[in-house]
């Protein structure tokens, strides 16, 4: 799939300020205060820094100062860490919803939107990027020629979104850990890389509590849930290593595609019919609107007998809630409220 998390950004500052940093955790899960950002002299003095990224120990010689991110979830990870001042720009299509109504509006206004198409080596070079933060099939890809290895030849470092890591179980299969753990892993690694560990750990604690609170209120009856991304002949959906798996599970649902050892992948409609989900979650993004996706699902004859269709249980979520991003914890809470109202058919 050529869809999922798309870009990122950041900022930094001296050590003395970091100790007094006041965290303001708000909005979609949490957001840190915009004041004193990180890195600066403190982070510079700690480098080189080595972190494990997708199973590979990677050493960064200095604090990145001109990061280019790819996609909305990745970009907002940088924003949540308060690192927009460390960004040269972001790349993402303009189908990611209303970005003026998110906690990071000021950051979006500040950081250049470099392209609404695919990220390229030329974009990174023109932006004088010193690091590209993207994911496999979320910006990086052998087909496009944009890979950590190809960027390294240009003197540009890379960080790979953990949700997208190749897992080695099949050609192109992605995902190496539970999705929310992937988010926490990236926050911790980036916190170390940019010298904002305290900020990163505060976010992680806040997100973990928000998710735990939602899980504690899970319904006794766990409705079965199918995630529909797009596709007519074959639906694109989420396996156990994509964000929706954790969101559905922690919200009190039973993810019907939890046995798929991949992140985002396609299945056959016959599999969906056989598993008879009680709820279908629509991923709202792209050229096909949520209303159009719903119209297709409710009119597609093979699905007529599926419980979710018969009982009109179709729930819409925004793309940025379903890919790895700081919006995931709030997405868990919101879906949990909906699932608590679903009764066994």
Beta-sheet strands, E only, within 279-330:
279-284, 314-318
Mean pLDDT of 138-143: 90
pLDDT at 132: 98
* Angle between helices 72-80 and 179-194 in degrees, nearest 10: 50
Question: pLDDT by residue (tens digit) across 17-29?
Answer: 333 333 333 333 3
List residues bridging with 131 in a β-sheet. Answer: 67, 157
Domains and CATH numbers, the chain: 15-212 (3.40.50.1980), 219-339 (3.40.50.1980)
Mean pLDDT of 29-56: 59
Q: Which residues pair with 59 in a beta bridge?
A: 50
The answer to whether the peptide bond before residue 92 is cis (omega within 30 degrees of 0) is: no
Helices 243-250 and 179-194, packing angle to 10 deg: 120
| Helix or strand run (H / E) with residue 185 | helix 179-194
Overall residue count recorded for the chain in this entry:
345
**Range with the poorest average pLDDT among 39-48, 73-82, 122-131, 202-211:** 39-48
In contact, 306 and 269? CB cutoff 8 Å: no
For residues 297 and 164, what is the distance between their CA atoms, to the nearest angstrom?
28
Write down the pTM of the prediction: 0.83
285-341: per-residue pLDDT in tens? 989 999 999 999 999 999 999 999 999 999 999 999 999 999 999 999 999 999 998
Cβ-based neighbour number of residue 286 at 10 Å: 16
Compare 142 and 277 and report the one with higher pLDDT: 277
The continuous run of DSSP H or E covering 1 comes out as: none
């Amino acid at each position: 799939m050529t869809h999922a998390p798309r870009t990122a950004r950041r900022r930094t500052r001296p050590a003395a300020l970091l100790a007094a940093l006041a965290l303001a955790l708000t909005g979609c899960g949490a957001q840190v205060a915009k004041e004193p950002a990180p890195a600066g002299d403190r982070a510079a003095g700690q480098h080189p820094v080595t972190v494990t990224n997708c199973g590979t120990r990677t050493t960064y010689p200095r604090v990145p100062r001109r990061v280019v991110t790819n996609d909305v979830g990745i970009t907002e990870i940088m924003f949540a860490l308060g690192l927009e001042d460390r960004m040269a720009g972001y790349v993402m299509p303009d189908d990611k919803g209303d970005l003026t109504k998110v906690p990071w509006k000021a950051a979006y206004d500040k950081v250049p939107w470099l392209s609404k198409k695919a990220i390229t080596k030329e974009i990174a070079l023109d932006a004088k990027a010193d690091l590209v933060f993207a994911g496999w099939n979320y910006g990086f890809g052998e087909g496009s020629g944009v890979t950590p290895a190809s960027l390294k030849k240009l003197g540009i470092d890379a960080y790979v979104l953990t949700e997208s890591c190749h897992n080695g179980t099949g050609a192109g299969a992605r995902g190496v850990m539970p999705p929310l753990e992937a988010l926490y892993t990236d926050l911790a690694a980036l916190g170390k890389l940019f010298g904002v560990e305290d900020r990163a750990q505060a976010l992680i604690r806040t997100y973990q509590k928000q998710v735990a609170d939602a899980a504690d209120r899970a319904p006794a009856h766990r409705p079965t849930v199918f995630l529909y991304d797009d596709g007519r002949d074959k639906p694109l959906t989420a396996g156990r290593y994509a964000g929706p798996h954790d969101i559905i599970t922690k919200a009190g649902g039973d993810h019907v595609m939890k046995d798929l050892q991949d992140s985002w992948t396609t299945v056959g409609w016959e599999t969906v019919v056989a598993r008879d989900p009680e709820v279908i979650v629509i991923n709202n993004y792209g050229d096909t609107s949520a209303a159009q996706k719903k119209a297709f699902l409710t009119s597609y004859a093979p699905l007529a007998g599926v419980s979710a269709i018969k009982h009109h249980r179709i729930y819409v979520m925004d793309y940025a809630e379903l890919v790895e991003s700081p919006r995931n914890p709030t997405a868990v809470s919101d879906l949990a409220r909906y699932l608590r109202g679903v009764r066994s058919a």
